[in-house]
Structure 1
Amino acid sequence: MALETTVTSDFELVKHLQERSKKNMRQETLFCTVDVTDLYTMVPQIEGVLSLRKMLERLKLKQVGGLKIETIIRLSRFVMKNNYFNYDGQYYHQVRGGAMGSPLTLTIANCYMFFFEQQIIKQISNSGGLYFRYIDDTCITVNWPAQHLFRQVDRWNKFDENIKLLANIVSSNNFLDLYMENKDGKLLTSVYQKPSYEPYYLPFNSIHPLHMKKNIPYIMLFRTIRYCSTFQSFLNDREKLKIPLILNMYPNKLIEEQFTNVLLKHKINPH
């Protein structure tokens, strides 16, 4: 039901962006990334459970895993209303939102956001734009003036007092591990590293099996190939990959062998 407006990885977003850029990418196209402030702890408990019920009814499900819908709702309400934690010798009862890291909190937050965002999705789609969400992070591309988009975000923030949207609206932006840029109406993408990024991977001198350690440079380069829209950005990011691997004691010969294996397996000519 939400497959058309959600992504599970950056590469899914890359494919959608590439498809749109062929049809509707202009010099004025903006990339807007939106973060939902403290989503897990801001979703109201009762309304969150009701959104889960609404979602199950929308899917026309009578049972899930042998449990009746009413049983699922009662159990969900119990879990959401009975979260306790200890801090500095004191016990506290959580009265807003759900427990961080709880699978139920994630499910309820996704259901709550699904119903919250429907008006926004319709508005963006009617304007020929794209809207995709990954849990509490959203990426929007649309051919609107920046001031108009800022005004719309302000309007969306009035939809629900529990949901606070923080938007970054520019012609170049990042979403999760993807860097996106509109350069004179042309889409450019590459790997993005957050300021908090630390070059730490599984050390090569660890006791883990060799095949696990070989997979790390392989997967890292494969991701770079999928994300980079130009050969030059691929070359730049490929060189950046080597540094953290070498710092974690990976032999240069093994790195080069795995990089070559990626190109051979996927029939990519690096020249």
Structure 2
Amino acid sequence: MLDIVIEARYAEISAGFAVKRILPYQLRRMVGPFIFMDHGGPLIAPVKAINNYDVLPHPHIGLSTVSYLFSGNVTHRDSLGVEQVIKPGEVNWMTAGSGITHSERFEDPLMLAGTKLELIQTWVALPEEDEENDPTFINYQPHELPVFNDTGIWMRLIAGEAYGLKSNVKTHSPLFYLHVVLEQGTHFGLPNGYSERGIYIVKGRIEVNGNGYQAGQLLVFTKGVDPLIISKEQTTLMILGGEHLGERYIWWNFVSSRKERIEQAKEDWKQGRMDLPPTDNEEYVPLPEIKSRPAGGPPPNMLS
């Protein structure tokens, strides 16, 4: 059955750049290992405003950030020395583990002057045994990700296994993550075999078991349910889920199974004990002064 419908809330992550925040939600913190989800755009900005959207260097622990673009491009720099421009259809999979810092900057004036920017970012919590692994970063090109085409259906498997497809993206626990486009009137179903599954409607409308849903909603389903999904117009979905890892604490950009580890990360960042990206180290996001906040701490930086 349908467990919950989560309405995206607007969150401002920089001057003039508001995103739709889907996870975490007070009544549903995670879907499988996915603990955070933001939908940014579509956005077209004048060239003079391009720097307003930059996300300055900031830290992470205990998670993987997953960036996926529909349009535009973003430059990633991190404390491992990686510099990577991510483009539509690619995946930036950064595993923070014991700690990493990075920035996301919009450095192509032509991109924001003439092309829409639209992206989805998720965070994937790590199993307890992997929370303190060394940090890594991998960019996956579109040709490395399985694509399926059929009448009225196009989908790309970003990570995990689903519908008989398997992605080469390295993950740490059982999960699936897909970009799906349905033509009007197409019938579709969710992958089986996972305890938690969700559908985020990026654009368009769907009907599930006779009820209508629209863009900006995340539908979460219980295990064993096989809902009938019918697209009411051309519709873009992000479908995700997997196995639950247990409870996680989330504060700002930190995720951990242990409260004391969050406190250590806060102090490490405050005292300057985490290296900044070597080619982007002139400024950074300071530790927020807010001490606590319902439903997961102060809003994390989008693009993390």
Short-chain TM bin: under 0.3
Larger relative strand fraction: 2
Which is richer in helix?
A: 1
Q: Name the TM-score, length of structure 1 as normaliser.
A: 0.26
Q: Which has the larger radius of gyration?
A: 1
